[in-house]
Amino acid sequence: MERKLKVSGSRMKIKNPRHRIHLQGRIICGEVRLWRKISKVLILLLSSVFFILFSSSFCDAQEVKQPNVSGRFYPADRGELTRLIDNLLTEAKAADIKEDVLVLISPHAGYEFSGKIAAAGYKAVKNRHYDTVIILAPSHYAGFKGAALWPKGAFRTPLGSIPVDEELSYNLMLSSPSFISYPEAFESEHSLEVQLPFLQSIWKGFKIVPIVLGEVNFTDCQNIAQAITNLIKDKNCLIVASSDMYHGFDYKEAELVDRYTLSLLKQMRAKEFYEYMLADKVQLCGWAGVLIAVLSAGELEFNNVVVIDYTNSAKVTGKDKAGEYCVGYSSVAICKQGGKMLSEKQQKRLLGIARSSIEHYLKKGEKLEVNESDPVLLETRGAFVTLHKLGELRGCIGNMVSQQPLYLTIRDMAVEAAVSDPRFSPVKEDELSGIEIEISVLSALEKIDNPDKLVLGKHGVLIKNGYHGGVFLPQVATETGWSKEEFLSNLCAHKAGLAPFAWKDPDTEIFVFTAEVFSE
């Protein structure tokens, strides 16, 4: 029996049905390959059309973006601006960051207010080089949804013009509907522009991707961060998130809120950070850019948050009086984590031991029996356990040098922090569910002969003089915003029972250490 199959307008006689199946399979595969080729051509054609439309949407805007706040937020004269930034970089705090840096969070007020803090951040990356800098800046003037891109041309300041990375900008626009063409977002904005002279002062031969962020939610930030990470994972890029911190009329509140914000930022818990921002527990006017930067850093395994410097306008101007308007400023870097002492699994194990130990003690009044075989957790290490309730300290006790395995130190210090910290009443069983546990596992002590070797935010310090001694963990400097002198003086006076400036005494011994800090 003959069966007929029509192929390309002709007829072929198929005597064996099996041949027909085989032939049809080949025809179908051939058609798929043909359609794939056609699809590729169509995609290229549509992309070209899109790029033309995308670029033409900026026809009414200047390809070279002229400055908005030159002469107001920073000097308009090239020589004066160069001298100012050089002086700010010279005077700025030096940060000892040896790891690769992906993210820099930088303030955007006038240079007279936040210039020194911004300079500290740029000083920290001065000796590195990046091909492209992606700048995420908040919109203060234009109302719109999404992330506005300036796709081509250059941005000009008194120090010259910086070219836009047109290829990366174009690919970002293609990658997510959150990116939009909206030149109006750049017309009056200062938050992006004030970063540019600093960049020009430390590097040559780089490009920028200028992004101004309008109304976005957490999902939008995730989409934008994913688009960025997909495109830069094999490139040499820096992300600058432009943001000031607290805005309000209470300079004491400013330091408390900003200290908490920086502490939370160090945990890199993006969703919680977003929820706390909505609840006004943290304040960052450029929160969206910071959130996108944190999400991008986490995706690319940059997990070490370093607070380089912090101040607020009350400190800068001396107007630290009730009722005076106050704004917080910080420089923060997110870099590659150095060699970690503990894996994530080991950290979770220790946190579990800490909580179970407190629960068991509060219920039965005795130590929890714990067995452990992990060789790392069997090492003898000093450690502290810190308890927080609603963001406030609820207890903290530890050992600098332990005589038992790490997991038993955590068991014992967790209970001590809960019931034996003399600054607080013992934790009650019914409040334990609202308490967050933080653990600091310590490195070996290193004696230093010069306080200049102390790196705030990296080092904890042990002070000893005779029978007197006291300890501050590394995160104390971050949470308080103290200078090095304030850090050491408070350690002497409030922890060691010494005179505030005893750290300058030749008989005082100063030891530094690092800590791996993690929490629930």
According to the model, what pLDDT value does residue 47 have?
A: 46
User: How far apart, in whole angstroms, are the C-alpha atoms of residue 51 and residue 49?
Assistant: 5
- The hierarchical CATH code for the domain 344-519 is 3.30.700.20
What SS3 state is found at 356? helix
pLDDT at 100: 87
Q: Note the CATH number of domain 72-335.
A: 3.40.830.10
pLDDT of res. 36: 52
pLDDT mean values, one per 10 residues, the chain (520 residues) = 37 37 35 50 48 45 86 96 96 83 96 96 91 97 96 96 96 94 95 97 95 96 97 93 93 86 85 89 93 95 89 87 86 82 89 96 94 86 92 90 90 96 94 93 88 84 92 83 90 93 94 88
Distance between CA atoms of residues 471 and 495, nearest Å: 7
- Strand 101-106 and strand 237-242: pairing? parallel
What pLDDT, on the 0 to 100 scale, is given for residue 38? 54
| Three-state SS sequence of 295-327 | HHHHHCCCCEEEEEEEEEHHHHHCCCCCCCCEE
Question: Whole-angstrom Cα distance, residue 224 to residue 215?
Answer: 13
**Among 439, 468, 470, 443, residue whose Cα is nearest residue 382:** 443
For the stretch 12-47, pLDDT in tens is 333 443 333 333 333 334 444 445 555 544 544 554
Q: Where are the domains of the chain?
A: 3-56, 72-335, 344-519
pLDDT for residue 428: 94
**484 token code pair:** 């090095």
DSSP 77-113: SHHHHHHHHHHHHHHSPP----S-EEEEEE--S-HHH
DSSP letters spanning 18-76: HHHHHHHHHHHHHHHHHHHHHHHHHHHHHHHHHHHHHHHTTTTS-SEEPPSSBTTTB-S
Q: What is the pLDDT of residue 228?
A: 97
Q: What is residue 2's three-state secondary structure?
A: coil
Instruction: Report the pLDDT value the prediction gives residue 132, as an integer from 0 to 100.
Output: 96
Residue from 462, 472, 442 nearest 508 by CA: 462
Q: What is the pLDDT of residue 515?
A: 84
